[in-house]
Structure 1
Amino acid sequence: MPAPTSRPRRPHSGSRRDEAARLAVLHAADDLLVEHGFGALTIEAIARRAGVAKQTIYRWWPSKVEILLDTLVEDSEKRLPVPAEPATAAGLRGYLRGYARFLTRDPAGRVLLALLAEAQHHPETAERLHERHLGPRRARERDLLARAVAAGEVSPALGPDVVLDALVGPLVYRALTGAGIPRGLVDALVEDLLRPRTG
């Protein structure tokens, strides 16, 4: 009896994306979200704007949420990185000011707000948002805070996760409700919650 021959592997087109087309899809989704909102965003519209076939998008992404998550993850890493060394009170304040600008002025900030709103109604979106963006970013923020505490730069009034929620929460709330984020709000939050070292 002849030995069984191994079958050739089927190509997985989803793992070998054309980079130009991938970026076109991400930019198209970002632009359409800003122009028309999450509810009006469709795979068909993204495909038209990006100049790719709808089937191509479905081969790479199962839903518009996953497209937006890719956009959010990539853009936030470029435009709102969590500071590396050294961990200082000034660095924390600057990061929070950058977060406020990201939420109110950056298209990727609009993506985050749209996904946060959608997550309130769809547990799957909430889970994926936490898994791909909120969780990893919180881990880096927690590390930044711990390093600043260890360096004697800040003395938080609360535990790490609670203080981070108290710092970021008001910024997200004001952005979600369409309100501006005054510069003084960030300064007040830092002073009250982090109690930076003076002198």
Structure 2
Amino acid sequence: MSPHKAPDSSRRSDRSRRAIHDAALALVGEVGYTRTTIEGIAARAGVGKQTIYRWWPSKAAVLMEAFLDMSARRSAEAAEAAGGGGEAAYAIPDTGDLAADLKLVLRATVDELNDPAMEAPTRALTAEGIIDPPLGAQFVENLLEPQLQLYVTRLRAAQEAGEVREDIDPRVALELLIAPLTHRWLLRTLPLTHAYADSVVDHALRGLLPRP
């Protein structure tokens, strides 16, 4: 008779953590961030609320980790579909046509912001980060900053190729591309569409391209 094996606590913890992540994301999407509670997340995940408090100090911290985990999984899935590494999946392409490359990426950003699975937690964390500076800093450092650096890298490459003026600051220039989409998405003033993303690129490049 084979000896009895003790349960693998690490695997059990991983299952519980994933269940809590999924529960937090689902509840925020269904009832909104304000009505989402630790008790509700625990009930949805099938764990005790003390389990959640043992790992996270607040529902905002739960949602942050869940959102980052979801983003990482999506990146890995995109990388697998593309047959490359995780970084390659989200890198801004460099085909030699800066306008086309930027439009491709901004269109993907529009799709992501309009995706219900991404929209609710992104709005919740954006709002919560305003009143909770440490959470906001974590959101920027772990999610936004790596994405912004991709624009810096692409714009610097365009400068070296003579596609963009030498005197522009890539860090400022990227805001000409990202800020209009974020503004429209946050305020819900008008629909966020691919056509709008294309027009943002066209307008921004008028100020970034070398002058005759």
The TM-score, its normalising length taken from structure 2, stands at 0.73
Contact 1:21 1:50 (8 Å CA) reproduced = yes
The answer to which of 65-74 and 152-161 deviates more is 152-161
Partner of 1:184: 195
Q: Provide the rounded CA distance (Å) in 1 between the counterparts of 2:145 and 2:116.
A: 21
Higher helix share: 2
Matched with 1:26 is 21
Q: CA–CA distance in 2 between the matches of 1:148 and 1:69?
A: 34
Q: 1:68 and 1:140, CA in 2 relative to 1: closer, same or farther beyond 3 A?
A: farther
Residues 121 and 85 of structure 1, relative CA distance in 2, 3 Å threshold: same
Would you say the 8 A contact 2:92–2:101 is kept in 1?
no
How far residue 140 of structure 1 moved from its aligned partner, in angstroms, is: 3.1
In structure 2, do the counterparts of structure 1 residues 104 and 60 end up closer, same or farther at CA, with 3 Å as the change threshold?
same
Corresponding residue number in structure 1 for 2:86? none
Corresponding position: 1:162 with 2:168: no
| Distance 1:144-1:21 versus aligned 2 partners, 3 A rule | farther
Find the counterpart in structure 2 of residue 6 from structure 1. none
Equivalence for 2:91: 83
Residues of 2 paired with 1:41 and 1:150: CA distance? 49
Q: Work out the CA distance in 1 between the residues paired with 2:11 and 2:19.
A: 15
- Is the CA contact (8 Å cut-off) linking 1:97 and 1:186 kept in structure 2? yes
Distance 2:124 2:60 in 1: 10
Runs of 4+ in structure 1 off by over 6 angstroms are none
Are the structure 2 counterparts of residues 181 and 84 from structure 1 closer, same or farther at C-alpha, using a change threshold of 3 Å?
Answer: closer
| 1:16-55 alignment, distance < 5 Å | 18-55=13-50
Cα distance change, pair 125–67 in 1 and its aligned pair in 2 (3 A): same
Matched, 1:103 2:103: no
Q: Distance in 2 between matches of 1:116 and 1:140?
A: 21
Alpha-carbon distance between aligned partners in 2 of 1:17 and 1:128, rounded to the nearest angstrom:
27
1:138 and 1:131 map into 2 onto residues whose CA distance is 10
1:182 aligned partner, one-letter code: T
TM-superposed deviation, 1:151: 4.3
Give the 3 Å change call, closer, same or farther, for CA 29–135 of structure 1 in structure 2: same
Secondary structure of 1:96's counterpart equals helix
**Residue identity matched to 1:175:** W
- Note the alpha carbon deviations across 1:77-134, whole angstroms, 9 max, x for none: 4258532654653332211111111111241232122211222222222222122222
Instruction: Tell whether the 8 Å contact from 2:29 to 2:116 is kept in structure 1 after alignment.
Output: no
Q: Counterpart amino acid of 2:29? A: V
Task: Percent identity, please.
Answer: 35
Cα RMSD of the aligned pairs, angstroms, is: 2.8
Distance 1:22 1:33 in 2: 17
- Paired residue for 1:132, among 135, 142, 148? 142
How far apart are the structure 2 equivalents of 1:185 and 1:121?
30
Residues 23-53 of structure 1: CA deviation (Å, up to 9, x unaligned) = 2111111111111111111111111111112
- Aligned residue-pair number: 184
